[in-house]
Amino acid sequence: MARPFDPSFKFSDRERWMCFYPAYINSKKTVSDGRRIPKDQAVENPTHEEIKTVCVAAGLTVGVENKTYPRELYPRDMTYRGRIRVQFKDDNGQPKYEKFPTKKSLMLYVAETIPKLKTRIQKQNQAQQQAAQQAKQSSGKSKGKNKKR
């Protein structure tokens, strides 16, 4: 059924923009928990700041809202808060960006780009250094305890 023409309806109104929750591209979520892309292409625990950074770098018009995904089990946990709004269509209803003809193409692009962010790389390097330090400390402790005179 066709919708009657409404002159007040515009895709440029912010409430008409596409919603993008971090759960859509989270590899730790199941499809029933809200993941919308294949698990092997998803990202581990993305944040709304990372999604916003990638979208702004791609030249998209973006807005951030302090909302929680409705399927989220722990809605008060601040790590899961944040909803990104992206102006996906122009006033004619056509995709605004040629690079992203569908919503899924945008989600796949964001999931592919987030691991390349400096903040992600720095976190991985810090985690590797801490793991190496812990391994050194645990191997150093066992040497001294076994010796008795």
pLDDT, tens digit (0-9, with 9 covering 90-100), for 47-91: 999 999 999 999 998 999 888 887 877 766 677 788 999 988 888
pLDDT of residue 24: 92
- What is residue 54's predicted lDDT score, i.e. its pLDDT? 93
Q: Does pTM top 0.85 for this prediction? A: no
Q: Enumerate the β-bridge partners of residue 18.
A: 86
Mean pLDDT of 113-129: 82
CA dist 43 and 111 (Å) reads: 6
What is the rounded average pLDDT for all residues in the chain?
A: 82
Q: Are 104 and 37 in contact (CB under 8 A)?
A: yes
User: What does DSSP assign to residue 118?
Assistant: H
Domains of the chain by start residue, with CATH:
17-117 (3.30.56.30)
Structure tokens at 90: 């122009």
Higher pLDDT, 77 or 114: 114
What tokens does 139 get?
Answer: 């191997």
**CA nearest to 83, candidates 38, 18, 28, 36:** 18
Q: What is the mean pLDDT of residues 94-98?
A: 83
pLDDT tops 90 at residue 8: no
